[in-house]
């Protein structure tokens, strides 16, 4: 019977075979190689590529967020008006005809019977 280890008579279980305790052979005539430094399997090249990708997506997300929130008055007045070339597009001036009359004007209008 071909067994991977010795049979233990008290338990009836064959223990796992362990790997040999010697290093593998490295030929002096073969290529000289070194294992790259890594952190959890991630090399410097992987981190650089990941950083470039995340930076690009972050930049696009930031530009999207600025233009998405560009019509909020605080963002428009503090950020968008100061951007060169396109800042003039975000200056919003209310024409005089759209001004809301004051409460005092409504009171006098009702007292005079709409004779304006």
**Between vectors from CA 55 to CA 52 and to CA 61, what angle results, nearest 5°?**
145
Q: Select the highest-mean-pLDDT range: 22-26, 78-82, 99-103, 110-114.
A: 78-82
Strand partners, 42: 39
What integer pLDDT is reported at residue 114 of this predicted model? 53
Question: How far is the C-alpha of 55 from the C-alpha of 45, rounded, in Å?
Answer: 15
The tens digit of pLDDT for each residue in 34-45 reads: 888 999 999 999
Global pTM reads 0.51
What integer pLDDT is reported at residue 25 of this predicted model? 80
Phi, psi of 76 (to 5 degrees): -60, -45
The pLDDT confidence band at residue 20, using thresholds 50, 70 and 90, is confident
Report H helices in the chain. Answer: 44-68, 73-78, 103-112
Q: What's the number of CA atoms in the CB half-sphere (13 Å) around residue 8?
A: 6
The tens digit of pLDDT for each residue in 39-72 reads: 999 999 999 999 999 999 999 999 999 999 998 9
Contact predicate 75/66, CB 8 Å: yes
């Amino acid at each position: 019977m071909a067994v991977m280890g010795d049979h233990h008579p008290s338990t009836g279980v064959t223990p796992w075979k362990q790997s040999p305790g010697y290093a593998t052979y490295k030929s002096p005539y073969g290529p000289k190689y070194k294992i790259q430094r890594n952190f959890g399997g991630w090399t410097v090249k992987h981190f650089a590529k990941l950083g470039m990708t995340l930076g690009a997506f972050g930049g696009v997300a930031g530009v999207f967020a600025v233009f998405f929130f560009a019509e909020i008055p605080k963002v428009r007045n503090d950020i968008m008006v100061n951007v060169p070339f396109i800042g003039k597009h975000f200056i919003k001036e209310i024409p005089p005809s759209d001004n809301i009359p004051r409460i005092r004007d409504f009171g006098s209008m009702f007292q005079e019977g709409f004779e304006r």
